[in-house]
Amino acid sequence: MEFLSLPYIILIIFAFVLYYAKANYHWQRAVLLLSSVIFIGYYHLMYLCVAVGIALFTYYAGRLLYLKRGTKSSPYILAGSIVALAGGWLAARYWSPLFPLGISFYTFQALSYLIEIYWEEEDPEPDLLNFTLYMLLFMKFLSGPIERGYDLLPQLKKAHPFCYENITYGMKSLVVGAFMKLVIADRIAPFLNAVFGAVHGASGIQLLESTLLYPIQLYADFAGYTNMAIGFGIMFGFKLSPNFNRPFVSITTGELWRRWHMSLSFWVRDYVFVPLSAETRRWKSWGIYFSLLVTFTAIGVWHGAGWNYAIYGLIQGLIIIYETAAAKQRDWLQNHMLKQIYKPLFIIRTYLLFAFSLLFFRIEKMSDICYVYQHVFDGVNTSLKETNLGMPDFNWIAFGIAVVLMFVFEYFNSKRDLLKLVTRQKVWFRWAIYYVMIMLIFLFGAFGVEDFIYIQF
Amino acid sequence: METKDNKVNIGNKTSMRSMISKFYLKCVLIAIPFLLLIAYYVNKDPFLVIRPHNDYDHSTICLDEGAASWYKYKLYRRSQHYDSFIMGTSCTMAYRCEDWNKYIHAHPYRLFGNAEGLVDLYMKLDALDKQPNQPIKNLLLIFEQSLLSKNYMQSGPCYLMPPDVSHVSWLYYQMTFLQDFLDPLFLVPYLKFELTNRYEHSMKGIINPYGRSHFGYGNDAIYPNEIQIRKMGERYWQGGYWYKFGKRRFVATPGKEFSRTIFKVQQYYLRRIKEICDKHHTNIKIVIAPILERRKLNTKDVAIIRKVFGNDNVFDFSNSTDLSVFDKHNFYDGVHYRTVLGRKIIDAVYNKKYLMK
């Protein structure tokens, strides 16, 4: 049951109507729990059993950690819990014939919850139902954001009365997400899939074009999903964490990772990089480099069972190590170059590095990845017409305009909340915008093309 | 105090309820125009894709012929026991099942598509192969440069094949047509025609002004230009379309050939077509269509096709030595030719009368 499917729309309508039928905490929690159970169980009953099992394990492990705080057994309990959770996740990832959807996201959520209790930054949640809802909440279950307990749990402990402004704001966020997913990501997806699925049949120019377009597809897909998740959250009175902050304006790969899949980046920063670099601080710079390499390889491995993912993470780590080591030279360049030249140059450099490293993320077979690197500058097979990748010209124009619109929207939205600005406009103008947006999605969106890319993680 | 609190609560509840009602009302108001249009679309089904129809030969609009001929095939396959197929682009209009049947004595059907590509053709053949109890005894494939150059499955409302052929999801398939319906470039002329029932030039390419476009169980073509030729005689090749484009487009370029078209992907699909034919012991004939300007298919491409399907099964009319093939009276325009030439080609193919090298 994905966000843009008919069963999900029916579920969300029922859940929404029931949720606000009574502004009562117990009632609303029951509606959300039931909706989450239906949402997960609809995919596969086993997914629900695994998710509930992990939630129960984490809940009781958290209670035990709290009880044993300050004792000698406490680190062992934490280590045992981490081994059990990470082991379960690894087993599901590498050996299970059925990979439970969302497990990477909620396992990381469970790990952060336990570590925070161990560090005495947080107390365990006393109410089992609240905790289960924190783990299973349907809007963020499949692909995050990876929520921290101290952010989400307090929000689950109170009633959420009907708030017209919030609900309409959430709906606007939904529309923005749907636009990104349907008009941009899904529009280009079948054509990029055709190229990456049979790289030997594509010409050099098609490989180059697909390599350069893939980050945009991935971004529109995942950020579109996140906008929708955040929108659904707001409609039910929750504030979920943002996952993206205009990553393609980054001038370094390090900055890009502070703007890309932020809930994962910050998770590994807090629970892998910071403890590791603290442990290796006597190695000075080498300790930092080592920690960076381990952290980014962990990010790569998080994505999947395959050397390609590990290499993808490793490449990110190596680039960031280089950037850290060459920080002085970069500062010198920044001081001696015109800002108008330096910034675009480094933005393009960062984008290109990211795009070419993403090949390890997108293509599973190493031989195919090598083939792309070898032939990406081979030029054209027949004529320049093949640059359309089989997509009709009209769709290219619509796709191009949509991408520009997305970046322009994000630019102005970073200066001022455009969704709130719309709310303050006159009614005829607001409604015109709503109709135009819905029409644009209807006319130019590609429906039923494929699932969200990050659903597989 | 208690009474006062209760009143406040009741007041809050009332305003909350009115707010919720207002919200739901606005949602319905936003949805109404779309729901009305969708209801109209579902009721009319102008693309003939939502539910099965009894007639795919007449339609108000210019159809996705690939989908329409597939649906028509499915409608009659049980009663007509089709076992032989003519496949290719709209150029297949020159080949009548009746003419072909004189040589094969079977149950032929013309399964064509608008500007069909090689991958579309393969997908259709593959779908035929997967139909239960579907023999493929004879196959007449009409190849041309534009068909061979497309190394991808075509999308969009003019080309997309039904889900059982294209393997796209049902939702994607239906949304493709619904989106085209909602596109003002389609919707406005369509609604105008529905209201006035009068064809205007601005409706060209959207509304079908001729009524019937194919006929019979074999799905033979009715090309409206044939009626024009009957009316106008020799004047057809002098005025209008021919006068306008005569000098610019149809200058004969004998000996000139297209650049290479068949690469790895095309070779892959040609081999897959051959595999299906081998599985069904199909008697396959491949016609490389002539075009008026006498530009031939690339020699290396022809050699590849011959290598895959065998020398005796490939007939390159783009390089015909019989110049009467390229007589303009055989053509409706630069690429579409008449049944008179189609008959001649079928005869040449099956009686081994070599109109080509």
* pLDDT per position as a tens digit, B304-336: 999 999 999 999 999 888 888 888 899 988 889
Q: Do B155 and A167 touch (CB under 8 A)?
A: no
DSSP string over A279-296: HTGGGTHHHHHHHHHHHH
Task: Note whether B260 contacts A: Cβ–Cβ < 8 A.
Answer: yes
* Cis check: omega of the bond before A145, within 30 degrees of 0: yes
A201 with A331, same domain? yes
pLDDT at A234: 96
Residue A205 and residue A117 share a domain: no
Across the range B190-208, mean pLDDT stands at 90
Which residue among A164, A198, A439 places its CB closest to the CB of B19? A164
d(CA B252, CA B247): 10
**Cβ-Cβ contacts under 8 Å, B154 against chain A:** 390
Confirm or reject contact between A395 and chain B (CB < 8 A).
yes
Q: How far is A442 from chain B (nearest CA, A)?
A: 6
**For position B211, what pLDDT does the model report?**
79
A146 & A284 share domain:
no
A132 and A200 fall within a common domain: no
Q: Give the closest of B19, B22, B171 to A447, CB-based.
A: B171
Q: Which of B22, B172, B183 shows the shortest C-beta gap to A447?
A: B172
pLDDT tens, residue by residue, B42-71:
999 999 999 999 999 999 999 999 999 999
* A148 and A197 housed in the same domain: no
Which of the listed residues A327, A350, A375 is the one where a domain comes to its end? A375
The domain boundary residue, chosen from A375, A404, A426? A375
Both A354 and A264 in one domain: the answer is: yes
Where would I find the beta strands (DSSP E) of chain B?
84-88, 108-112, 138-143, 214-215, 220-221, 283-288, 314-316
What is the DSSP code (8-state) at residue A124?
P
- Contact at 8 Å (CB) between B92 and B112? yes
A122 and A71 part of one domain: yes
How many CA atoms are closer than 13 Å to the CA of A317, on its beta-carbon side? Answer: 23
Please tell me whether residues A199 and A342 are part of one structural domain. Answer: yes
Chain segment A372-387, per-residue pLDDT in tens: 999 999 877 767 777 8
- Sorted by sequence, the CB contacts under 8 Å of residue A266 that are 6+ apart come out as none
Q: Does the structure's ipTM exceed the value 0.85?
A: no
| A 111-170 residues with CB < 8 A to B | 161-162, 164, 167-168
What pLDDT is attached to residue A450? 63
> What local confidence, expressed as pLDDT, does residue A224 receive?
95
Interchain CB contact of B146 with A (< 8 Å): no
In a domain, A418, yes or no: no
Distance CA A196, CA A82 (A): 37
Given a cut of 80, whether residue A258 has pLDDT beyond it is yes
For the cut 60, the answer to whether the pLDDT of residue B2 exceeds it is: no
Q: Which residues, numbered 4 to 23 in chain B, qualify as contacts with chain A under a Cβ-Cβ cut-off of 8 Å?
A: 16, 19-20, 22-23
Query: Token pair for residue A245?
Result: 């902050």
Regarding whether A302 and A369 lie in a shared domain, the answer is yes
Report the share of chain A in percent with pLDDT over 70: 98
Q: Do B156 and A392 touch (CB under 8 A)?
A: yes
A283 close to B (CB below 8 A): no
Q: End of a domain among A375, A398, A426? A: A375
Closest chain A residue to B15 measured between Cα atoms? Answer: A162
- The residue count of chain B comes to 357
d(CA A146, CA A226): 11
Segment B249-270, tens digit of pLDDT: 555 566 788 888 898 888 999 9
**A271 lies in some domain:** yes
Amino acid sitting at position B188: V
Of B152, B171, B261, the CB nearest to A448: B171
Same domain, A208 and A130: no
Average of per-residue pLDDT values in chain A: 91
Residue A435 contacts B where some CB pair is shorter than 8 Å: yes
> Which chain A residues have a beta carbon less than 8 Å from that of B22?
164
- State how far residue A446 is from chain B, nearest Cα, in angstroms: 7
Residue A319 lies in a domain: yes
Question: Are β-strands B84-88 and B138-143 bridged in parallel, bridged antiparallel, or unpaired?
Answer: parallel
Nearest CA in chain A to B183: A443
pLDDT digits (tens, 9 = 90+) for A35-52: 999 999 988 888 899 999
Contact residues on chain A for B155, CB-CB shorter than 8 A: 190, 390-392
In terms of Cα–Cα distance, which of A403, A457, A452, A450 is closest to A190?
A: A450
A204 interfaces chain B, CB cutoff of 8 Å = no
How far is residue A367 CA from its own chain's centroid? Answer: 28
B168 touches chain A (CB under 8 A): yes
Establish if B182 touches chain A: CB-CB under 8 angstroms.
Answer: yes
Cα separations (Å) of A232 from A11, A246, A375?
12, 21, 43
Check if the beta carbon of residue B163 is closer than 8 Å to that of residue B173. yes
Nearest CA distance, B260 vs chain A (angstrom): 7
Q: Mind listing the pLDDT tens digit for each residue in B110-159?
A: 999 989 999 999 999 999 999 999 999 999 999 999 999 888 888 888 89
A202 in any annotated domain:
yes
Residue A326, helix vs strand vs coil: coil
Look at residue A431 and tell me if it is in a domain.
Answer: no
Cβ of residue B181 closer than 8 Å to a chain A Cβ? no
Distance CA B77, CA B109 (A): 9
Contact A198 B153 (CB under 8 A): no
Q: Can you give the pLDDT at residue B253?
A: 64
A402 domain-assigned = no
Instruction: Flag whether residue B172 sits within 8 Å of chain A, measured between CB atoms.
Output: yes
- A38 plus A120 within the same structural domain: yes
Q: Are A126 and A73 in contact (CB under 8 A)?
A: no
Domain membership of residue A324 (yes or no) is: yes
Q: Is B140 helix (H, G, I), strand (E, B) or coil?
A: strand
* Residues near A50 by beta carbon (within 8 Å), at least 6 away in sequence: A92, A100, A103
- Inspect the interface and report whether the beta carbons of B155 and A447 lie closer than 8 Å: no
Using a CB-CB cut-off of 8 Å, the residues of chain B touching A390 are 150-155
The number of folded domains in chain A is 2
Sheet containing B283-288: give its strands across. B108-112, B84-88, B138-143, B283-288, B314-316
pLDDT tens readout for residues A76-112: 999 999 999 999 988 887 777 677 888 889 999 999 9
A442: nearest CB among B169, B170, B182: B182
Nearest-by-Cβ selection for A381 from B19, B152, B263: B263
Tell me, what's the pLDDT at A293? 95
Range of the domain at A342: 193-220+245-375
Residues A149 and A216 placed together within one structural domain of the fold: no
B329 in contact with chain A, both atoms CB, cutoff 8 A: no
In a domain, A238, yes or no: no
Span A219-231, average pLDDT: 95
pLDDT tier, A456 (very low <50, low <70, confident <90, very high otherwise): low
* Whole-number pLDDT of residue A129: 96
- Banded pLDDT at B210 (limits 50, 70, 90): confident
Q: Please list every residue in chain A whose beta carbon sits closer than 8 Å to the beta carbon of residue B23.
A: 162, 164, 167-168
Share of chain A above pLDDT 90, in %: 70
Tokens of B282: 């199909």
Query: Which pLDDT tens digit goes with each residue over A395-415?
Result: 899 899 999 999 999 999 999
